[in-house]
Amino acid sequence: MVSGKSDRKVVADVLQSPGERVKLAVVDIDGVLRGKYVHKDKFASAVEGGFGFCDVVYGWDSQDVCYDNTISTGWHKGFPDALARIDLETHRNVPWDGGVDFFLARFVRPGKRGEEPMPLDPRQVLARVVARARKAGFNPLCSLEFEFFNFAETPQSWAAKKGVDPTPITPGMFGYSLLRANHSRDYLAALFSEMSAFRVPIEGLHTETGPGVFEAAIVYSEAMEAGDRAALFKSGA
């Protein structure tokens, strides 16, 4: 989704916003956000020249266990830094993180004709598919629906249980229950309002069949924006 602002205006707004940090993220091959905070001065230079980000995010799983069958990256290549380019049109402010400015980035690599997309980057894979669709005369519009379990645990309490038998926020099987939804109303209200402020609008949200299970349907958009919203929803929720 394009914000409607020029790139120069986006950068100026970020540099003039409160605080000294910006949050940058890429999407790994499991669709999980990986990122870091950078100083605004670093952000400004990265807009022009890109920034380094270790390509280990394409050589390990969601528990940071390295794959043993990699070709493009891995121990045999020393997990070098790859060049990431900030996509300014992905600019958001994170409501649950003091409104810090947030951007997604894409990986590139040197090619015969200058920079080219890194083939392992999920956002670049989707961009290639969208380009093929548009060449064929189509403009793909997409949305995603998540069904996910919610537990009354902290990272520490669940680690103490070794990931076994977590306590769901609601008991029993009760799909589309307004009673169960009302029990978790503060949480659901936060999902609706804060995700909307994060430019990840939710179309529908309700309980599903299963202890502590909810279903969230995200408002449809163009395919690249839909993919970004999916990764952002998983992180934000």
Residue 144 · residue 226 · CB < 8 Å: yes
Domains of the chain are: 7-135 (3.10.20.70), 144-219 (no CATH)
Full-prediction pTM beyond 0.85? yes
Read off the amino acid at residue 133: A
Confidence (pLDDT) at 50:
96
Over the Cα atoms of the chain, what is R_g? Answer: 20
For residue 191 the two structure tokens come to: 């999902």
For residue 86 the two structure tokens come to: 């900030």
State how far the Cα of 68 lies from the Cα of 132, in Å rounded to an integer: 32
Average pLDDT over residues 51-59: 90
Count of Cβ atoms closer than 10 Å to residue 84 Cβ: 23
Residue range 14-39, pLDDT digits in tens: 999 999 999 999 999 899 999 999 99
Confidence (pLDDT) at 198:
98
State how far the Cα of 15 lies from the Cα of 13, in Å rounded to an integer: 6
Strands 21-27 and 100-111: parallel
Confidence (pLDDT) at 56:
87
Residue 184 · residue 151 · CB < 8 Å: no
Confidence (pLDDT) at 2:
39
Higher pLDDT, residue 25 or 81:
25
Confidence (pLDDT) at 1:
39
Confidence (pLDDT) at 5:
67
Confidence (pLDDT) at 229:
98
Among 40-44, 67-71, 178-182, 194-198, the range scoring the smallest mean pLDDT is: 67-71
State how far the Cα of 14 lies from the Cα of 40, in Å rounded to an integer: 8
DSSP state of 220: P
Confidence (pLDDT) at 97:
96
Residue range 148-197, pLDDT digits in tens: 999 999 999 999 999 899 999 999 999 999 999 999 999 999 999 999 99
State how far the Cα of 222 lies from the Cα of 77, in Å rounded to an integer: 36
Among 64-73, 114-123, 217-226, the range scoring the smallest mean pLDDT is: 64-73
Among 71-85, 97-111, 211-225, the range scoring the smallest mean pLDDT is: 71-85
Computed over every residue of the chain, the mean pLDDT equals: 93
Residue 201 burial by Cβ neighbours in a 10 Å radius (0-12, 13-18, 19+)? middle
For residue 31 the two structure tokens come to: 């669709």
Residue 176 · residue 206 · CB < 8 Å: yes
